[in-house]
Chains A and B, each alone.
Chain A
Amino acid sequence: GDSVTQMEGPVTLSEEAFLTINCTYTATGYPSLFWYVQYPGEGLQLLLKATKADDKGSNKGFEATYRKETTSFHLEKGSVQVSDSAVYFCALISQGGSEKLVFGKGTKLTVNP
């Protein structure tokens, strides 16, 4: 079945450091890929998405590129801020597959000033 594997962390960085959170997937059908973010005490919110191979999703300085050849969708940000401290979830939905959003286990990011 569909699955997502992401580095579980936790990840601790200093402000202005470069961030990478790795995500790889296994899917039937033609998946769309997502990063969701959960700030402390809140529900998840969509950060960015990509719906086909080579698409780049971007939002709030975060980027991720849909790499079909490596089945990956790594999240990157060039300069993190304290306000980026949150849990980040990689997810996929496979049209023609289960059609339910499947999440990785999440990566907790802490950014120190």
Chain B
Amino acid sequence: AQSVTQLGSHVSVSEGALVLLRCNYSSSVPPYLFWYVQYPNQGLQLLLKYTSAATLVKGINGFEAEFKKSETSFHLTKPSAHMSDAAEYFCAVSDQTGTYKYIFGTGTRLKVLA
């Protein structure tokens, strides 16, 4: 069965500092991986996705993620945090048994300190 683990339910960074949100997956087949962001009282917005093309994926708002098969990881990074990045971030893997439903990690709430 596929699963996703996000280390750190809460992460705080200073404005301008590097953002690193961790995601590890478990999958018996090549995975399709996604990062979504959720702002308060809103739905989920896609940041980026990995679908077996380039291992370094660039997304919106300056975020990127690198797929590392040897480490079964898909960590999300941003070189310089902005106050507007404060939100909850979810990593997800797409089930590949037919429905392609998402299996989500538990989420990481990012706080950006002035």
Partners in one complex: no
Binding site for A on B (CB under 8 A): none
Binding site for B on A (CB under 8 A): none
